[in-house]
Amino acid sequence: MSKNHNDSSDKPSNPSRRSFMKGFGVTSLGAVAAGQGLIGSLEACAPATGSKTLGPGIVPVTLRVNGKNVRVNIEPSATLAEVLHEQIGLTGTKTGCDRGACGACTVLLDGKAVCSCMTLAVDTVDQKIETIEGVGDDKRLHPIQQAFIESDAMQCGFCTPGMVLSCKALLDANPNPSDSDIRKAVSGNLCRCGTYPKIFQAMKQVAQLK
Ligand code: FES
Ligand code: FES
């Protein structure tokens, strides 16, 4: 769950209609998904709420993305997923459902996995944003990425960036996760190709290296 989700003192006094609708959307989807047994937990997809009210109109903000300060001019209604893709050019973060149900857009905010499609970019000012581009690259794969390759834990790869980041959030917080911990960590990430057994295998492999 994002850092601020349960902290009512941090909630903006005048939330936008979009953030209200998004909050409503994730709650409704969570109820439906849980009822159908599709998603074990939507914690990672809770919308982030910030302490500042910005706008209306385009506002200049500085985001801390993968260790670098990035200056962008954004609409207060722009999601982090939109800004990462369209303004910062980081396309590794995928958008699947755009409503908090699939986890493809997972990024880390101050080390915690959140859905960037459910997070307003203006709410991420002053937080550390980590995308898949910050985890590793072709010449320097993260151990989780290496383990995914060795375990053949991907098919089409669409869910993989989000999966890797959810796994990273878990391992950074808990280097020796149980099977249950691993399942819970990726329970908000849907893989339509059904690679879960391989993902669990990869995670166990990485955990044994620690
Ligand atoms: S949860 Fe964000 S794109 Fe599906
Ligand atoms: S590998 Fe295709 S959706 Fe997960």
pLDDT tens digits, residue range 18-45? 443 333 333 333 333 333 333 334 354 6
Of ligand 1's listed atoms, the one at least distance from the Cα of 96 is 3
Q: Could you tell me if the CB of 148 is within 6 A of ligand 2?
A: no
Count how many domains the chain has.
2
CATH code assigned at 176: 1.10.150.120
Contact 65, 107 (CB under 8 A): no
Query: Ligand 1 pocket: which residues have CB below 6 Å?
Result: 45, 95-98, 100-105, 115, 117
Provide the percentage of residues in the chain whose pLDDT is more than 70: 74
- What CATH number does residue 106 fall under? 3.10.20.30
Residues 117 and 20 in one domain: yes
Q: Are residues 128 and 203 in the same domain?
A: no
Q: How far is the CA of 159 from the centre of ligand 2 (A)?
A: 5
Residue 1 domain-assigned?
Answer: no
pTM to 2 decimal places: 0.78
Least confident piece of the model among 3-7, 42-46, 166-170, 197-201? 3-7
2 inside domain: no
Domain end among 71, 103, 133: 133
Shared domain check, 155 and 87: no
Are 90 and 155 contained in the same domain? no
| Length, in residues, of the chain | 210
Confidence at 137, pLDDT banded by 50, 70, 90: confident
Residue 127 pLDDT more than 50?
yes
Of 167, 159, 158, nearest to 200 by C-alpha is: 167
- Protein residue whose Cα sits closest to atom 4 of ligand 2: 191
Going by the DSSP 8-state scheme, the letter that residue 201 receives in this structure is: H
For residue 194, the ligand closest to its alpha carbon is 2
Would the pLDDT of 82 be above 90? yes
Predicted pLDDT at 138: 81
* Order of all β-strands in the sheet with 106-109: 68-74, 59-65, 128-130, 106-109, 112-115
Residue 51 sits in the same domain as residue 95: yes
Taking the CA of 98 as reference, the closest ligand is 1
Kind of pairing between the strands at 68-74 and 59-65: antiparallel
Q: How far is the CA of 94 from the centre of ligand 1 (A)?
A: 8
| Mean pLDDT score across all residues of the chain | 81
Query: What is the domain extent for residue 175?
Result: 143-209
Q: How far is the CA of 42 from the centre of ligand 1 (A)?
A: 11
Domain presence at residue 176: yes
Cα distance between residue 104 and residue 112, in whole Å: 15
The closest-lying atom of ligand 2 relative to the alpha carbon of residue 154 is: 1
Q: Is 161 found in the same domain as 129?
A: no
99 and 167 housed in the same domain: no
Would you say the CB of residue 52 lies under 6 angstroms from ligand 2? no
Where a domain ends, among 133, 161, 185? 133
- Whether residue 99 lies inside any domain: the answer is yes
Question: Is residue 71 located within the same domain as residue 114?
Answer: yes
Atom of ligand 1 nearest to the CA of 98: 3
Q: Tokens 């796994």 label which residue?
A: 167
Among residues 110, 133, 156, the one where a domain terminates is 133
Q: Among candidates 84, 109, 107, 106, which has minimal Cα distance to 96?
A: 106
How large is the average pLDDT for residues 60-82? 97
Give the residue with greater pLDDT, 117 vs 18. Answer: 117
At residue 56, the 3 state secondary structure works out as: coil
For residue 78, the CA-to-ligand 2 centroid distance in Å is 26
Q: Which atom belonging to ligand 2 lies closest to the Cα atom of 157?
A: 1
Do 157 and 120 lie in one domain? The reply is: no
Structural domain includes residue 40: yes
- Residue indicated by tokens 């109109």: 57
User: How far does residue 196's CA lie from ligand 2's centre (Å)?
Assistant: 9
